């Protein structure tokens, strides 16, 4: 079980990995290859030494740039008493909260892959095709994106990932990253023995509704 989240403001992809086994994943994002082989990443993750700590910010916007930036100098963050954070980005007020990663998971950052060329696969015409054109009964070539890329983790430790939203704290209804964490907890509860379900941590949203 893993969740892939895209960071628009960075040149890497944060990936949530289940510590129990080496994972593989498929992505529906057109910017990523259809299949990511993370086996070598898993080995590299367990072997490399953490030399420095980096911070990952998931911003609620798209940054049309792909180059280094002095984030600590220009992205000024205020730590609030309740553990949340506040900042501003290009005049917009942001509120952030640490990503609640489950205990059995860890986050790594992967270098952005060079997506391989799409592989052309033949597609046979069917009756529905004749309704749209009269090209004949010959086979039609259709291009399908299918590539496998091996990724490796960066050689540094990660501080807790911060999820940001405009003018309000992010929640499971507005943040895909928080939704992914909720699914991780759900998957853990579904596959856990019945006598262990009561011991699993309750998501913050459920606790708030119960109160």
pLDDT of residue 113: 59
Is 80 exceeded by the pLDDT of residue 99?
A: yes
The mean pLDDT of the chain is: 66
Average pLDDT over residues 93-97: 93
Q: Are 205 and 172 in contact (CB under 8 A)?
A: yes
Element (H, E) at 19: none
Q: How far is CA 114 from CA 118, 170, 207, in A?
A: 12, 31, 43
Angstrom distance (rounded) from CA 180 to CA 16:
9
Q: What is the CATH number of domain 3-123+141-210?
A: 2.40.128.680
Is 50 exceeded by the pLDDT of residue 153?
A: yes
Domain boundary assignment for the chain: 3-123+141-210
Counting residues of the chain whose pLDDT is more than 70, the rounded percentage is: 45
pLDDT of residue 11: 41
* Per-residue H/E/C for 39-92: HHHHHHHHHCCCCCEECCEECCCCCCCCCCCCHHHHCCCEECCCCCEEEEECCE
Residue-wise pLDDT tens digits, 8-43: 334 445 555 555 544 444 444 444 444 445 444 444
């Amino acid at each position: 079980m893993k969740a892939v989240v895209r960071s628009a403001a960075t040149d890497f992809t944060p990936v949530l990995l289940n510590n129990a086994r080496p994972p593989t994943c498929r992505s529906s994002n057109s910017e990523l290859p259809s299949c990511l082989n993370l086996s070598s990443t898993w080995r590299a993750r367990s072997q490399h030494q953490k030399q420095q700590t980096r911070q990952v910010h998931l911003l609620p916007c798209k940054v049309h740039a792909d180059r280094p930036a002095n984030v600590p100098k220009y992205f000024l963050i205020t730590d609030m008493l309740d553990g949340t954070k506040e900042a501003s980005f290009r005049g917009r007020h942001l509120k952030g909260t640490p990503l609640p990663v489950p205990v059995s998971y860890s986050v790594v950052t992967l270098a952005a892959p060079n997506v391989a060329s799409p592989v052309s696969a033949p597609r046979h015409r069917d009756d529905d095709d004749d309704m749209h054109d009269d090209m004949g009964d010959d086979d039609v070539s259709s291009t399908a994106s299918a590539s496998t890329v091996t990724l490796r983790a960066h050689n540094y430790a990660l501080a807790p990932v911060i999820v940001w939203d405009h003018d309000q704290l992010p929640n499971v209804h507005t943040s895909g990253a928080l939704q992914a964490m909720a699914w991780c907890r759900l998957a853990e509860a579904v596959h856990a023995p019945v006598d262990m379900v009561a011991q699993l941590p309750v998501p913050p949203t459920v606790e708030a509704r119960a109160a």
